[in-house]
Amino acid sequence: MTILDKMIGFVSPTAELRRVRARMASNVARRVLANYDAATVGRRGKSWKVSATDADGAAARRQRLAWISRDMIRNTPFAARAQHVIASNVVAAGILPKAVFPADSPLAIEWERDVKRHFDSSSIDADGQSTLYGLQKLAVMAVVDAGEVLVRRRRRRNSDGLPLPFQIQVIEADFLDTAKEGATDRGGMIREGIEFDRLGRRVAYWLFDEHPGSTSTILRRGGASKRVAASEIIHIYRQDRPGQRRGVSWFAPVALALQDFADNQDAKLMQQKIAACFAAFVVDLDGGSEEVVGGGAVEDDPISSIQPGAVYHLDGTQEVKFATPPSADGFDEFSRVVLRSVAMGLGITYESLTGDLSTVNFSSARIGRLEMNRNVEAWQWHMVVPQMLEKIALWMLEAWAMKSGRAEVLDVVVTWSPPPLTMADPRLEAAAAKGRRALGLTSRQGEQRALGFDPDEVHREQLEDLVRDAELAAAAPKPDTTDTPEKGQTDE
């Protein structure tokens, strides 16, 4: 203890104890940090942005990130390509629903008639533009650019003539009134427009009727948000940290690299143009000639622009000098390095981002694709299916029970089948799968599931094919089997 500690302790022993404890904790922290170079607070660590905030505190400017990402998608081809690659691989033709029924259940027929008609048509879309599978892709694309998206249920009447009396609407997270903050009358809290109860469960979302950035909203100088029950809203985002309430744009780690690359690409294009401008300058050293090669007077401003193959005449004693345009080499390697880091930050392969297959063979393409497939499966099963599709299945069963008047449909189990994963070489992949089965390392059903197929569906279709082949064979005309005279014989 220092003399000051003893003096403070004479007046307040409690304050003295706090000072001593704080000093001891600080000394321990210094000794611990000293063992890790990455924990340095010196010059080498000045570029780190150390923060003790939670996930949402660290993403306080997520809205600006969303705006930046959308601008890149509009104007940067690789950003637009990355968004479509992720959405197309996660959804492809669609993550399909499958209902499990008891044997010979009449509900199976109703499922085929109502549910598939509703999901496979634009009846499911409140805006009347897409099927459920198109809305799946639209939602994933919004998650990639803004980090999150909202799906709202729109209840309908049986008299509206829809296969099922409900629709869904995909809306951007901009509809969320993030200015709504504070405690509620029910003892809960509102955080960035999301209302939680005392137990931390989501109970409501505060939403605007129109997008805050739409022209009509701006002309009306905004509008008040309304409380919408959480049972009517699906909030989809990739959760990167525990306790995270909202998502962050997937372009956040690579936005600066992509923008710098786009700027560098523009500069390289201009450099290439300048490099193509090989020109000769004729300087009149005597200053007496006003004629140019080919005739004609020298203009007052002879060099307003540089053009390829031009010869420019200058004042003064004549002398010919050739321009030395800058070279534009090394851009290919630079591009590969930058775009590989961008692809890695987004969780996709360099080949899928750029379409450049010049440096890969089957083995390298397959290894890279396997890693990307793991990311795709994680996005499907940890985000899209649990956050979006399972809740849509509950809405579907509620609407189905409302239309049919049969409560037992609520007990139907609905599962989802993602699209088959892309194979680097189908022929070699099939041979490898056959080898694994021969060695007893997997089963036929296991291989089917690994590729994203539903074994029950495949088996049912195979049986249907066999039945159809047998029916066609039975209906085919029979060949004439009557005896015919052998060659060389004639009738008597």
Nearest to 395 by CA among 100, 117, 166: 166
Neighbouring CB atoms inside 10 A of 249's CB total 25
What is d(CA 148, CA 331) in angstroms, rounded to the nearest whole number?
A: 35
Q: Which of 162, 169, 177 is nearest to 212 (CA)?
A: 177
- pLDDT on residue 398: 94
> What pairing do the DSSP bridges indicate for beta strands 148-155 and 280-285?
unpaired
Contacts of 296-302 spanning 24+ positions with Cβ under 8 A: none
> Could you tell me which of 486, 460, 472, 373 has the C-alpha nearest to residue 419?
373
Which residue type sits at 6?
K
pTM value > 0.75: yes
Task: Calculate helix-pair angle for 77-91, 255-275, nearest 10 degrees.
Answer: 130
- d(Cα 21, Cα 26) in Å, to the nearest integer? 9
Q: Which of 158, 186, 353 is nearest to 254 (CA)?
A: 353
C-alpha separations of 231 from 99, 142, 195, 239, 395 in Å? 22, 21, 12, 20, 9
How far is Cα 284 from Cα 292, in angstroms, rounded to an integer? 10
Q: So what's the pLDDT on residue 489?
A: 55
Q: What is the pLDDT of residue 308?
A: 61
pLDDT given for residue 48 in this prediction: 81
Give the span between the Cα atoms of 3 and 14, in whole angstroms. 16
- Determine the Cα–Cα distance for residues 200 and 210; give it in Å rounded to an integer: 28
Residue with tokens 């008299």: 159
**Domain locations in the chain as residue ranges:** 3-42, 277-324
Q: Which residues of the chain have pLDDT under 50?
A: 289-298, 492
pLDDT, residue 492, reads 47
Q: How far is CA 58 from CA 55, 73, 218, in A?
A: 5, 24, 29
Q: What pLDDT was estimated at residue 217?
A: 59
pLDDT tens digits, one per residue of 220-251? 555 789 999 999 999 999 999 999 999 999 99
The confidence score (pLDDT) of residue 194 equals 97
Q: How far apart are CA 141 and CA 80, in angstroms?
A: 10
Q: Which of 406, 371, 311 is nearest to 110 (CA)?
A: 406
